[in-house]
Amino acid sequence: MQNLIEGLEKFQREAFPQRSDLFKQLATEQHPTTLFIACSDSRVVPELLTQAEPGELFVIRNAGNIVPSYGPEPGGVSATVEYAVAVLGVTDVVICGHSDCGAMTAISECKCLDHLPAVANWLRYADSAKVVNEAREHASSAARLSAMVRENVVAQIANISTHPSVRLALQQGHLHLHGWVFDIETGAVESFDPATNQFRPLTSFSLGRAVQNQIATA
């Protein structure tokens, strides 16, 4: 805890004064342009990854960067998605998976999670990705995990597209969906290309081309 307190003191002493005008503006309003959905993994920091300033990202973080399909009992993720899209009017949604993901490792290696019932229940929202990944051949366990991470990003894009606020914004052309995978060791980011159904380096896309809306509106 001491390191957190010292970090806070450094923020108040150094970082905050440099951005005092920005925080004064943000004190009563926010206008983020992007909803960024990432894993809770401590090694994945959306603001650091994108070099975003306060107020630019609206962030959801949870085990496995999962977005449950919309249902009769929407939870915190669903409420946050709805608020970001319908109230804040974000124009982009990024669902970002990452290398060495513990949640996806548990799925790809079929680890017993009887001692973690809440985790096991949560990861069922990645079942469609699991089914697809298990139907394919993989050269190694590492390749299986890498593929699982990517299949899960695609599955969560499909899940978020079931949310009424998202579907409406897509239909109206106000929203774009993006699927990313972050490699922790190299810092590289790949983005899903719906034209080829493959992930390619984000730098090869023109402005990080969005997942095409027909995925959500078909």
Domains and CATH numbers, the chain: 1-29 (no CATH), 31-217 (3.40.1050.10)
What is d(CA 153, CA 123) in angstroms, rounded to the nearest whole number?
13
**In this predicted structure, what is the pLDDT of residue 71?**
87
> In Å, what is the CA distance from 130 to each residue of 7, 62, 98, 149, 212?
40, 18, 16, 10, 23
pLDDT at 207 over 90: no
Contacts of 59 (CB under 8 A, 6+ apart): 35, 36, 37, 38, 46, 47
Mean pLDDT of 133-151: 96
Mean pLDDT of 104-114: 95
**In this predicted structure, what is the pLDDT of residue 214?**
45
Q: What is the pLDDT of the chain when averaged over all its residues? A: 93
196: exposed, middle or buried (Cβ count in 10 Å: 0-12, 13-18, 19+): exposed
**In this predicted structure, what is the pLDDT of residue 90?**
98
> In Å, what is the CA distance from 147 to each residue of 3, 21, 49, 98?
37, 44, 22, 11
Mean pLDDT of 187-212: 82
Torsion of CA 45, 181, 185, 147, to 10 degrees: 140
**In this predicted structure, what is the pLDDT of residue 205?**
72
Mean pLDDT of 19-27: 96
Q: Which pTM value belongs to this model?
A: 0.92
**In this predicted structure, what is the pLDDT of residue 216?**
43
Query: 129 or 217: whose pLDDT is higher?
Result: 129
DSSP run (H or E) holding 200: strand 198-201
**In this predicted structure, what is the pLDDT of residue 2?**
95
What is d(CA 142, CA 139) in angstroms, rounded to the nearest whole number?
8
**In this predicted structure, what is the pLDDT of residue 204?**
79
pLDDT at 117 over 50: yes
**In this predicted structure, what is the pLDDT of residue 218?**
45
What is d(CA 29, CA 18) in angstroms, rounded to the nearest whole number?
19
Cα angle 86, 199, 144; round to 5 = 110
List alpha helices for 13-140, DSSP H. Answer: 16-18, 20-26, 46-50, 76-82, 102-108, 117-122, 127-134
Cα angle 105, 109, 111; round to 5 = 90
The residue count for the chain: 218
Nearest C-alpha neighbor of 210 from the set 93, 56, 110, 84 = 93
CB atoms within 10 A of CB 217: 10
What is d(CA 62, CA 205) in angstroms, rounded to the nearest whole number?
27
Query: 129 or 215: whose pLDDT is higher?
Result: 129
